[in-house]
Structure formats: C-alpha cells, structure tokens
Amino acid sequence: MPAPDPNPSEAVPPYAPLRDVLDAAVAPPPWWRRWRPRHRATGSRPDPAGRLPVAARRGVFPALAALGAVLVLSLVGIAAPWQPEPSPAQGGRAPDPGRGPVMASPTPSPADPPPLTSRVETGRTSPAPPPPPPCPAPLSVAVSPDLAELVRELAGALTGGTCPQAAVTSHGPSAVTGPVAHQPPAADVWIPASSLTLRLAGGDSGSGGGADFPTGGDSLARTPVVIALPGPVADSLTGYPVWVLIYQEVTGGGIPRMSMPDHRTTVGALAQVTLQEALRRYTDGDGGRAFLTLINFRNHVASLDADVEALLDRMAGTSSARAGTEVGAFPVTEQRLVAYHRRGVGARLVPMGTYDANIEADYPLVVARSLDQRLARIADELRAALRSPAAVQRFVQAGFRPPDDRQRVSGFPAGYPNPFPGEVGYPEPIGLPDPAQWSGIVDGWTWQP
C-alpha cells in the first residue's frame, strides 16, 4: 500500500474502493484466463442449466452491479455530504503523530479572525478607499467689523469650496467703536479701520504689527470724520473752517450741546487729531495758546466719552426740534451718517466737513512680511479682488468713498447733503501722528489742573 501524501490537498471520499472494484470489473482478464473451450469461448451454446454464457455472466452483470452501487453511493453523498473528524478547536481529538497526517477541516474554526476587507457584488474583496489629502492652511485675514462682510463677499472663490484659500474674520474696533490702539492680530493679512491703528500698534520701532506688519498699506475705501449737527442748529451756522466755527459756537452758546467720543476709540482718536491740528493752525502754531484753546473747548463739552452709536439711536427716536438740546452735535464717520440717512427716521442730521483739518478712516490692507510663497500668492489675489472696479463700486454702494476718487458720492442716498460743498471740494487729508506725537495729543486732552 503506498504511503499517504504528506500534504493532501483534499480528503479521500469513502466510496473510493468501489471505484477501484468497477475499474477491475471492466478491465480485460489476464492472458492465462483468456483461453476457453471453443464453445465456451464463442458463447454459442448455454450450459446444461440453461443459463447465459459464462462470458456474459462474468463480464456484463458485475460491471452493471458495480456501476449501480457507485450511482447509489453518489446520490447518498450529495444528500448527506461527508463530514470529516472535527478539529481540536471544535471538540475533536488532537492529531496523533503515529497516525500520519490529519486532514484539514474545510470549515474555519471560531478562533479564525474575520476578514478585514469588505465584500463586493462580484464576490471578491477590495481594499477601503484611501482618505482624502488634508487641506493646506488658508490665508488668515483679520478685518475691521465695518468691512468684514463686504470682504467676504468680494473675496469670492477664495473663501469657498472644500478647501478655501482664505478665511476672513472680524477683528478689532470699527471706525466708530472699540480701542484704536491694540495688539495686531495673529493673521496673515490685516485690514484695520485706520492707518493710525497701524502706527500705534507698531510702537516706537516703526515696524507695524509686532515687527511683522508694515505701518501703511493700500487703502480699500475711505470715509472722512465729519461733525453731525441737528438740522435747525446747522441751518443757523455760517462760515468755515468748521472746527474753528464749532469751537466758537460751543464756547459762545450757539451750539447748546456738544459731545465728544472717547479718545481711545477710532473715531474719537481721529477727532482729537483733526481738532488739535485745526486749533494749532488757528493759533499760528503757538503751542501755549493752542493748549489753552483746547482746554477751554473741553470744559464746554457735555460728554467726553460719548457712545456714537447710542447718539445715532437717540437721534432716530427724537424730532429735529428737540435734537439740538437733547442730543446735540458730535463727530462721526460719514459712512455711519449715510447709513443713518438711509433709515429715514428721526431727526434730520447735517454733516459738516472739517476743511481746516480733514481726516479719514482709510481701511488699509497690509500683508505680513513672513508669508511663504503660496500664501503670498493668495494675498496678491485677494488684494486684486478687493481693488477691482466691481469691488470699488460695491464699497461706494455701502456709503464709502473710493480710495482714488474721493469726490465721488454716487452711492449716497437722496437728500444726503455733501459735507464738502463749493469749489474747494474734498480737501487733502492731514498726516497721521507717530506714537510719540499721539502721546502728546492724549496728554493735552486729558490734562487736569
């Protein structure tokens, strides 16, 4: 008997011996059994008992019998498949080294781990799809609340999609509220309300934004600081320049009430710069006289830390006849006054421009010096989008003046009077102080005897 295959590919079915019997039955007999008497060899006559010839008995019937047995066992095997001996993990006995190799069970044991790949309809396995690559960090843009929504709108495709190239956030004070001097944002691009903010945030070193932002940039839009006067009060005043006229009327009683914003807010700081420069020119540069004029004006002001937004709300809820004594005059940016006029309610307010020392919020765009090549390219695309003709038109519609054509007032509502009428037009804005000069301005306004 041959030795068993050490690596059997499959188990031997139990009816294999019957197949061998069938093969032996139909095989030709050996040569020594092939001789028969002539009558038996030819099968011409039956034997005395009347049976079929011997060749028929010994060749055909055994083969038919064996074939029938194989068919029966095959049907039985289909109906009840052969189950091999269970594996040790299923409760069977361990293999005996003396018994030879043990057939492997075709059924996986409970200890086998489940497949790690998912099945598909074809029956084959496929690996899970790889995760998408991470998005690169977007350009961070910190914008004054006055312009944050407009910048998001005008940035267009740079702020959309699965991986936005720029992220715009509202940061710092607006042109009307919030402290003008503050720390620069942790951003790649900064758009504050005024270049004065850049100068004051840069410190004495002259390098803006903690030595990362410059002290000046391209202006996106402009809005001058004007004096808002109730209609009846404005109609009674004649003469220019405006700050000197305001000083004379406040100290002389012609303007019953005057309020000044906190000098630490953007509009309050800009108002102090223009007021003190106008008084310096009025006194021909005499520092002592200019200081006394400033203190005299301050002593006649009703409020030194007025909330401009609250004053506009009070104006919207009162009549023009009562506004002069209840609210009075106050500095405000032209863009906020345009927004007040568009509401169409409350007392009539007239803007008066300061010809003697014009100043404005200019919304500069500055880019950090430490940007890599990819972020610098995105910053250039953002600047181009915000300086395009379509963007300028959008700023004008929001009540701002264009950065390069300050005479244009096509976006102002009907009935809004131009604060710079006449042939002179829009005067050139004055220069902004550096941090040391700003300290002198604050000391003069807050001086106490």
Write a three-state SS string for 352-402: EECCCCCCEECCEEEECCCCCHHHHHHHHHHHHHHCCHHHHHHHHHCCCEC
Taking only the tens of pLDDT, the chain with its 449 residues reads: 555 555 554 555 555 555 665 566 556 665 555 555 554 544 445 554 445 454 444 555 555 665 666 565 555 555 444 455 555 545 555 555 555 444 444 555 555 555 554 444 555 667 888 877 888 999 999 999 999 999 999 998 898 888 999 999 998 888 888 777 667 888 999 999 999 999 988 743 344 444 589 988 999 999 999 999 999 999 988 877 899 999 999 999 999 999 999 999 999 999 999 999 999 999 999 999 999 999 999 999 999 999 999 999 999 999 988 998 999 999 999 999 999 999 888 899 999 999 999 999 999 999 999 899 999 999 999 999 999 999 999 999 999 999 887 776 666 888 788 898 877 788 999 999 999 999 999 999 999 98
Residues whose CB is less than 8 angstroms from the CB of residue 120 and which lie 6 or more positions away in sequence, other chains included? 126
Residue 379 confidence (pLDDT) = 96
Residues whose CB is less than 8 angstroms from the CB of residue 145 and which lie 6 or more positions away in sequence, other chains included? 170, 172, 173, 174
Residue 446 confidence (pLDDT) = 96
Q: For the whole model, what pTM was predicted?
A: 0.69
Place of tokens 């890599």: 372
Residue 416 confidence (pLDDT) = 85
Residue 246 confidence (pLDDT) = 95
Domain extents in the chain = 17-44+56-73, 225-363+421-445
Measured CA distances, 314 to 302, 311, 327, 404 (Å):
16, 5, 7, 34
Instruction: List the CATH code of the domain at 225-363+421-445.
Output: 3.40.190.10
Residue 239 confidence (pLDDT) = 77
Which tokens sit at 348?
Answer: 């009539």
The SS3 call for residue 259 is: strand
